[in-house]
Amino acid sequence: MSNKADISQQMATASVWKLLIKLSIPAVFAQIVNLLYNIVDRIYIGHMGEAGTLAITGLGLCFPVISLIMAFTMLIAQGGAPRAAIEMGKGDLKKAEKILGNCFVVLIFLSVLLTAVFLLFGEKFLMLFGASESTIIYALPYMRIYVSGSVFVMLSLGLNMFITTQGFTKFSMATVLIGAVCNIILDPIFIFGLKMGVRGAAVATIISQGLSAVWVLSFLFGKTTKLKIKKENLVPKLKILGPVLALGVSPFVMSATEAVINIAFNSSLQKYGGDIAVGAMTVCATVFQMTWVPAQGIGQGAQPIISYNYGAGNAERVKQSFKAFLTVCFTFVFVLGMAIMIFPRFFISIFNDNPELVETTAWAIRVYGCAMVFFGIQSTVQQTFIALGKAKASLFIACLRKVILLVPLIYILPNFFENKVFAVFLAEPVSDAISIITSATLFAIVFGKEMKKMRDGSEK
């Protein structure tokens, strides 16, 4: 039996737990390593002597730009990869390759478009995001260099999901490992050795992402891959892209609204607490990325299993896969989240040791994350909806937490508290708690109906 046929057989018959571990561990590792791209930058920049506090705040102001680039990447990748997996489950490899080819072309187009927009209007955007005269000198050069290499970022991260969804986890893990190791090595060289500061951090990141992109493309154009990028599939077609975009809207909204949220948080905190409050938000968001970014990796391991068996009409394996996914994801997020809540100063000190910033962040992070420790529930529900192709339900969940609840609360709550900075941070747990309860309720209803349909279909 060929390796390609063996992978398909495993999706259909292997132990769900063993399969989840096999696919998730490399994906989680890849997400953690990918997280190092930005975390390593922040660690080095946050310890740039007296300038470190303002520099890390300036870097935080670039989050909306990075989030938007990631959003468009997720629109195509998380819309396309599950669709390809579903077609593979149906045995239609030709259509799966058409999805891959179309996604490849659109990723390149979007990267060029985004680069042009941010280079032309980047400074105006940063000032709207909450930059001050003290922080814009760090934010602007980092952003300009980073967006110039957005094509590498989007191709390496976006196309890598098509490698993972085929079951080639070692290759997908190597994609991120190559870039991250390179980034870790180059960061101190460019930042301190060549005395480039924040510019050096951006250059190191783009070079590293470029190497990852070359690796991904060499694999998808090569002989090992089950799905290959072919010339005849490079002409975008609405019939192919329509379902991809429909499914990708939810993760797009999740990432795009991160930009909106960052803008709302930073502008409000700049108004009520100045650069220190904005810096505290940067550290809070970075620390809790350590929980939800690996959780996305668990989802990347679970999604191919759920999607494949959903396409194959195997209700029992879909249910088993979801239960295993929920158990692992919730446990991981809860345990690490509680560690952050109990030992906040340890995690904060990784990024900066300025006494004023540490003191502000120490109480802010406990407010910010008190409900986020349960976020593994919503993450599982969100990603399972995507795996099942339920675009509308997934989109609603994404919009509920961030657009409907969080952004308005950031501006509403300060009207009811004397400590305005506290009120801004409080918006996060209030939004999280409501959205987690709502998401779990909606999922129980929709998932139950889908299981019944699949069982009824298999009995006919």
Q: What is the pLDDT along the chain (460 residues), one digit of tens a residue?
A: 445 555 666 776 677 888 888 888 877 876 777 677 667 777 888 777 667 678 877 877 888 898 899 899 999 998 998 888 888 888 888 999 999 999 999 999 999 999 999 999 988 888 888 777 888 888 899 999 999 999 999 999 899 989 888 878 788 878 878 888 898 899 889 988 888 888 998 899 899 999 999 999 999 998 888 888 888 888 888 999 999 998 888 778 777 877 888 889 988 998 899 888 988 998 898 888 888 788 888 888 888 888 888 887 788 888 888 888 999 999 999 999 999 999 999 999 888 788 888 899 999 999 999 998 998 999 899 888 888 888 788 878 878 888 899 999 999 999 999 999 999 999 999 999 999 999 999 999 988 888 888 777 655 5
Nearest alpha carbon to residue 132 among 286, 284, 281, 267: 267
**Would residue 1 count as lying in a domain?**
no
- Spatial separation of the C-alpha atoms in residues 315 and 430, rounded to whole Å: 35
- Spatial separation of the C-alpha atoms in residues 149 and 221, rounded to whole Å: 22
**Would residue 370 count as lying in a domain?**
yes
**Would residue 3 count as lying in a domain?**
no
Phi, psi of 148 (to 5 degrees): -65, -25
For residue 1, what pLDDT is reported?
40
**Would residue 11 count as lying in a domain?**
no
**Would residue 7 count as lying in a domain?**
no
Residues with Cβ within 8 Å of residue 223, at least 6 apart in sequence: none
**Would residue 101 count as lying in a domain?**
yes
Cβ proximity of 301 and 249 under 8 Å: no
Nearest alpha carbon to residue 424 among 280, 254, 257: 280
Based on C-alpha coordinates, what's the Rg of the chain? 22
Residues with Cβ within 8 Å of residue 193, at least 6 apart in sequence: none
**Would residue 307 count as lying in a domain?**
yes
How many domains does the chain contain in total?
1
- Spatial separation of the C-alpha atoms in residues 212 and 199, rounded to whole Å: 20
**Would residue 6 count as lying in a domain?**
no
For residue 76, what pLDDT is reported?
93
Question: Long-range CB contacts (< 8 A, 24+ apart) of 169-174?
Answer: 169/22, 169/23, 169/25, 169/26, 169/27, 169/301, 170/26, 171/219, 171/224, 172/26, 172/27, 172/30, 173/26, 173/27, 173/29, 173/30, 173/33, 174/215
Which structural domain, as residue segments, surrounds residue 338? 16-455
For residue 49, what pLDDT is reported?
65
**Residue 390 CA from chain centroid, whole number:** 19
